[in-house]
Amino acid sequence: MANNNGTMANATTMSYSSQSRDEQQHGEDQGGGMSSSHHAPSLAGSVLECPDGFGGSLLIRIQNMSATADLGVRLDLKQIALRCRNTEFNPRRFAAVIMRLREPRATALVFASGKLVITGTRSGHNSSLATKKVAYILERVGFQPSNHINFKIQNIVGTVDVGFPVRLEGVAFAHPSHSSYEPELFPGLIYRLVQPRVVLLIFVSGKVVITGAKTEEILAEGLRRVFPILLEFRKMHVTSLPNESSVDADTIVPSLPPMAASTAAATTTISGKGKGGIDGTVQVAPRVRRGKDLQNVVLSAMSNV
């Protein structure tokens, strides 16, 4: 195959091998017509600064990027799994070769149709570089990738901390058409934006996960649209009131002279004939309890005075 298409093989080798060799020897990232991001490669993840619309800014940390590419050639997955390092192929479980790259740190899914899925990177530059490396590896095995591999970023996942707790119940009640909140199943609120088309996972702590964006601008725009809603339902700190059980029962007794109150609480009279006493009354010491029982005894004694 290499003899029949010698010219194309040389052209393809020049477009992919020079970048890969420089990366292996010096660890440098050079050129790449497919790269559309201004972020430099970073193992710690790219950080995107987004204005919140209220004079401040929020920092979105990109956690993962997923990209696709089409090599334009049919591939023998068994041959790739046998001849390439750091690969895994189990056709009974998944109909693709799983290829893991060390630098940039990424995982590639290689399909027999020539389609690639690159995931695990944290910048568009690294996604583009990983795609080029996979194409170069497959070329060394004996396949001839196309010069135009149709590289596209399909999904960007970012996280942000808005800095304050959020009342998720209020957000779900005020925006039922966009929100889905089932705390028994998932602790976060799922908020779906129509424009831009992104999905946000909002947690009560103020942490937000944004997914579904294909560009960093869309990622920032989605957060910019939702931030005023989060600010509206910001959870405020409330000072706890004194515990009712700690209130002394004596404070609810009506104001009486000390002697009258003690006498009224100690005894009460019941009428009857031949029960003792000159007027037929018997002095009974009631069972006095705390709280409301004490109040009832005092009020009953007052009514009899």
Query: Could you read off the pLDDT of 43-73 as tens digits, one per residue?
Result: 445 888 888 878 888 999 999 999 999 999 9
**pLDDT score of 146:** 85
CA atoms of 18 and 25, how far apart (whole Å): 11
Contacts of 100 (CB under 8 A, 6+ apart): 86, 87, 88, 106, 107, 108
pLDDT value at residue 238: 57
Q: Are residues 166 and 104 in the same domain?
A: no
In a domain, 238, yes or no: no
**Helix residue ranges per DSSP H, 84-152:** 124-141
- Do residues 139 and 92 share a domain? yes
Q: What is the pLDDT of residues 283-298, one digit of tens each?
A: 544 454 555 565 665 5
Q: Are residues 117 and 186 in the same domain?
A: no
The radius of gyration of the chain from alpha carbons, rounded to an integer in Å, stands at 38
Give the three-state DSSP class for 285: coil
Of 16-30, 59-73, 183-197, the one with minimum mean pLDDT is 16-30
Report the pLDDT averaged over residues 62-87: 94
- Determine the pLDDT at residue 52: 80
The answer to whether residue 240 is domain-embedded is: no
Task: Tell me the Ramachandran region of residue 138: left when phi exceeds 0, alpha when psi lies from -120 to 50, beta otherwise.
Answer: alpha
Average pLDDT for the chain: 75
CATH code for the domain of 215? 3.30.310.10
Q: Are residues 125 and 221 in the same domain?
A: no
Q: Report if residue 187 sits inside a domain.
A: yes
Task: Please state, in angstroms and rounded to a whole number, the distance separating the CA atoms of residues 138 and 243.
Answer: 72
Q: Tell whether 223 is covered by a domain.
A: yes
| Domain contains 271 | yes
Are 284 and 267 a contacting pair, CB within 8 Å?
yes
For residue 233, name the pLDDT band (cuts at 50, 70, 90): very high
| 51 vs 102, more confident | 102
| Whether residues 139 and 208 fall in one domain | no
Domain end, chosen from 157, 174, 190, is at 157
- DSSP 8-state class, residue 249: G
Chosen domain end from 136, 157, 178: 157
166 and 55 both lie in a single domain: no
Whether 77 and 91 have beta carbons less than 8 Å apart is answered as yes
| Same domain, residue pair 140 and 178 | no
- Identify which of 262, 263, 265 has the alpha carbon closest to the alpha carbon of residue 286: 265
In a domain, 239, yes or no: no
**Per-residue confidence (pLDDT) for residue 24, from 0 to 100:** 40
Of the candidates 209, 232, 255, which is a domain's last residue? Answer: 232
CA distance 211 to 158: 7
Question: Is residue 83 located within the same domain as residue 99?
Answer: yes
Residue 136 covered by a domain: yes
Burial, 81: exposed, middle or buried (Cβ in 10 Å; 0-12, 13-18, 19+)?
middle
Percent helix, percent strand, percent coil in the chain, to nearest 5:
30, 25, 45
Query: 157-168 burial, b if ≥16 CB within 10 A, otherwise e?
Result: bbbbebeebbbb
Same domain? 28 vs 116: yes
Q: Are residues 274 and 294 in the same domain?
A: yes
Q: What is the pLDDT of residue 304?
A: 59
Answer whether residue 242 is part of any domain. Answer: no
Average pLDDT value for residue range 258-281: 45
Residues 20 and 110 in one domain: yes
Residue that is written with structure tokens 């393809």 in the block: 12
Is the torsion defined by CA of 248, 249, 251, 255 positive or negative?
A: negative
Q: How many domains does the chain have?
A: 3
Provide the domain limits for residue 27. Answer: 6-157
Q: 105-142 pLDDT, tens per residue?
A: 999 999 999 999 999 999 999 999 999 999 999 999 99
56 and 119 housed in the same domain: yes
